[in-house]
Amino acid sequence: MLSGGNGSGCQIAMRMVVAAAEALTASQLVRINSAHVTSCFYSGRVNVDFAEHLVANEAKVAVPTTLNASSMDFVHPELTLVNPDLQGVTGAQRLRECYLKMGCNQTWTCAPYHIDPKPQFGENIAGSESNAVVFSNSVLGARTNLYGDFLDIAAAITGYVPYAGLHQDESRRGEIVFDAQGIPDSVKETDIFFNALGYVIGRESGSQIPVILGLLPTTSEDQLKALGSTAACAGAVKMFHAIGVTPEARSLAEALQGSQPNREVSVSASQIISASDALCMETHGRISAVCMGTPHFSFSEFQTLIPLLSNRKVHADVRFYISTSRHIIKLIEKEGWLEELEEAGITIVADRCTYNVPRLDGVDGVVMTNSAKWAYYGPGNVGAKAIFASLKECLDSAVAGRVVRDPDLWAGLI
């Protein structure tokens, strides 16, 4: 590949992979089974120039490769064009053409783990989206570092990454223990708890691998998704272990690989409540929008939401967006849920996330969200004032047109 025997596009990609290996002092490369690419997101001309250069040099991916969320909704382009950034729209369209020419799968989702086939336990992959990297390492037991632009597509083209970091057994050892055994089980069953816990863990861990004690054996993938995605943005977490829940943590000793932790943290009720409050820029008043699906909504999350609708309608002054993948849209359409959601005044967004530009209509005032990641990034990205809340609070507020809080939300903690 380095000599150009597989074409000049592949030669460029392998030069990048080898340079990364040298920087990481890796003695060898390791073959990957799949890749997920974020370089397909338009953040400036450099993205387009690089992708078009690879295409011009006949680069093709060597492994199954999924695409991360774009900067626009290709299924419903009219949503993006309400407040058009013409350069951004054109850039996103050109990137789409390039990555499809290179053989990538048109998934456009930040939650590729919702789509089969998923990475398998022990497989080496190239991940690039922060929440997907955490989920793949922690929940699926696959192995990946965080490969950013443009190393992710280089890995996909060559089929190799440096054998370093989380690809190695010793680098997956837990380093900091969070004891959540004192938190009531009733609280651990709620969706909002895992976002708040992820915020605490991210702030305390930095880039260390956290180990969590006290989660219920029934903890769902959606809850682990929320925990990991928030820990990744509030800190730099790329993997966590949950004792008795995640595959490399059947016991504390296994998660720590027989070593002692660098530090232990007892998770308190006040930490959880403070984390939730820290993600709120307003406490009351009218709202302009509700945004869910950061990371993209799963089928089971829609399954939870549908019964809560109860034939209610979103307030006329509120825009209600749920981001999800094309794959999930097909599933909810088969169930008849898509029509039900649209009749309630909820807009389903594909291919993109709502906390990025071009900004969607209404996402410029006070925005409620059940995603700590949205609340963390949204204000800086789109200038909104975020209010972090439970799924039920978000829905109740969307119907009322103003902030509605559940007085019993933290009843188990207070």
Report the pLDDT value the prediction gives residue 82, as an integer from 0 to 100.
63
SS3 state of residue 349: strand
Please tell me what DSSP assigns to residue 172: G
Report the pLDDT value the prediction gives residue 85, as an integer from 0 to 100.
61
Residue 133 lies in a domain: yes
Report which of 134, 153, 156 is spatially closest to residue 145, judged by C-alpha positions: 134
- Identify whether residues 38 and 15 lie together within a single domain: yes
Question: Where is the domain boundary, 243, 277, 311?
Answer: 277
Residue 412 lies in a domain: no
Report the pLDDT value the prediction gives residue 83, as an integer from 0 to 100.
62
Pairing mode, strands 210-213 and 263-266: unpaired
Name the percent of the chain lying above pLDDT 70.
98
Q: How many CB atoms lie within 10 A of CB 406?
A: 13
The answer to whether 273 and 413 have CB atoms below 8 angstroms apart is: yes
pTM of the entire structure? 0.97
Q: What is the mean pLDDT of residues 327-345?
A: 98
The answer to whether 188 and 180 have CB atoms below 8 angstroms apart is: yes
In 223-301 the beta strands, taken as DSSP E runs, fall at 241-242, 263-266, 289-297
- How far is the C-alpha of 342 from the C-alpha of 142, rounded, in Å? 37
- Identify whether residues 119 and 246 lie together within a single domain: no
Q: Which tokens belong to 250?
A: 């059947």
- Identify whether residues 135 and 182 lie together within a single domain: no
SS3 state of residue 124: strand
The answer to whether 330 and 302 have CB atoms below 8 angstroms apart is: no
Q: DSSP labels for 79-118?
A: HHTTS--HHHHHHHHHHHHHHHHTT-B----S-GGGSSSP
**Per-residue model confidence as pLDDT tens digits over 199-224:** 999 999 999 999 999 999 999 999 99
- Identify whether residues 17 and 115 lie together within a single domain: yes
What burial letters (b/e) apply to 138-156, b meaning 16+ CB within 10 Å?
A: bbbbbbbbbbebbbbbbbb
- Identify whether residues 273 and 284 lie together within a single domain: no
- Identify whether residues 338 and 242 lie together within a single domain: no
- How far is the C-alpha of 131 from the C-alpha of 238, rounded, in Å? 8
Residue 409 lies in a domain: no
- Terminal alpha carbon distance of the chain: 61
The answer to whether 309 and 303 have CB atoms below 8 angstroms apart is: no
**Per-residue model confidence as pLDDT tens digits over 74-93:** 999 988 766 656 778 889 99
Report the pLDDT value the prediction gives residue 120, as an integer from 0 to 100.
97
CA distances from 71 to 18, 90, 229, 295 (A): 30, 10, 19, 14
61 contacts: CB under 8 Å, gap ≥ 6? 35, 102, 103, 104, 153, 156, 157
- How far is the C-alpha of 80 from the C-alpha of 31, rounded, in Å? 38
Residue 413 lies in a domain: no
Report the pLDDT value the prediction gives residue 358, as an integer from 0 to 100.
87
Mean pLDDT for the chain? 96
Containing domain of residue 203, as a range?
173-277
CA distances from 68 to 17, 104, 121 (A): 20, 11, 21
User: What total of structural domains would you count in the chain?
Assistant: 3
- Identify whether residues 380 and 232 lie together within a single domain: no
| Angle at the Cα of 14 from the Cα atoms of 97 and 106, rounded to 5 degrees | 25
- Identify whether residues 310 and 387 lie together within a single domain: yes
**Per-residue model confidence as pLDDT tens digits over 356-368:** 988 899 999 999 9
Per-residue confidence band for 408, with pLDDT thresholds at 50, 70 and 90: confident
